[in-house]
Chains A and B, each alone.
Chain A
Amino acid sequence: DVKVTQSSRYLVKRTGEKVFLECVQDMDHENMFWYRQDPGLGLRLIYFSYDVKMKEKGDIPEGYSVSREKKERFSLILESASTNQTSMYLCASSLGTADTEAFFGQGTRLTVV
């Protein structure tokens, strides 16, 4: 079974802190994604990576950056956390074709205080 693991289930950080959310997949998938999920807004794509060191901005990249140094790991970085970044963050991975589904991690509930 595909496994996508996010490093934390719950995280509380202070405003202005640099925050790292880590995601690891074990299926050699080319594509990895970071979303944030807020009530009434669905899943919004922050960034996705289609290969090692390759990335594309999603719909809401402002305030975030990403890193993909190894194929299995995709990190989301909040350079200076703000309260409006309090949200559920979901990581996903998939093969790099249009006809393959994405597999999701369990999510990280981030609260910025």
Chain B
Amino acid sequence: AQKITQTQPGMFVQEKEAVTLDCTYDTSDQSYGLFWYKQPSSGEMIFLIYQGSYDEQNATEGRYSLNFQKARKSANLVISASQLGDSAMYFCAMREAQGDNSGYALNFGKGTSLLVTP
């Protein structure tokens, strides 16, 4: 079963507007981490923001914030004041334990392609 679900294959937003990219996840662990990455057309993977399962406050990093709703198992990324340079693929990811002393795998969703228009 898919652990990370991103239901929006593509999104458009106008410059200076805010946009929300959806992410839901599936885990039975109590301790896990949620991440968002950006992949521009150049192909590099850029880490944006992290939210821990025990964090009570939503994470924020500059124009990025994570709307974490633990009971609903959702971790949506909010980008405020969109810029043309925000056009990229955005991936939601989760780290969860693989068992005793077996480390934490990192699983990704299928991504959302965001296009920011002038």
Contact = CB atoms under 8 A, between A and B. Distances in A.
Contact of B106 (A45, A54, A106): A45
Nearest to A97: B104
Given A40-B9, A98-B96, A106-B43, A48 B105 contact: yes
Contacts of B111: 42-43
Interface in B52-100: 52-53, 91, 93, 95-98
B109 A96 contact: no
Given A104-B44, A106-B44, A107-B43, A43 B105 contact: no
Contacts of A22: none
Interface string A4-46: 0000000000000000000000000011010100001111110
B42 to A, nearest CB: 9
Contacts of B97: 98
Contact of B98 (A41, A50, A59, A107): A50
A36 to B, nearest CB: 11
Interface residues of A, number: 33
Interface of B: 6, 9, 31-33, 35, 43-45, 47, 50, 52-53, 91, 93, 95-98, 101-111
Report the 5 A-B pairs with minimum CB-CB distance, sorted nearest first. Answer: A50-B103, A42-B110, A104-B45, A43-B108, A98-B33
Given A40-B110, A45-B108, A56-B105, 12 more contacts: A42-B110, A43-B108, A45-B107, A49-B103, A54-B102, A54-B103, A98-B95, A98-B97, A99-B52, A101-B47, A103-B47, A104-B44
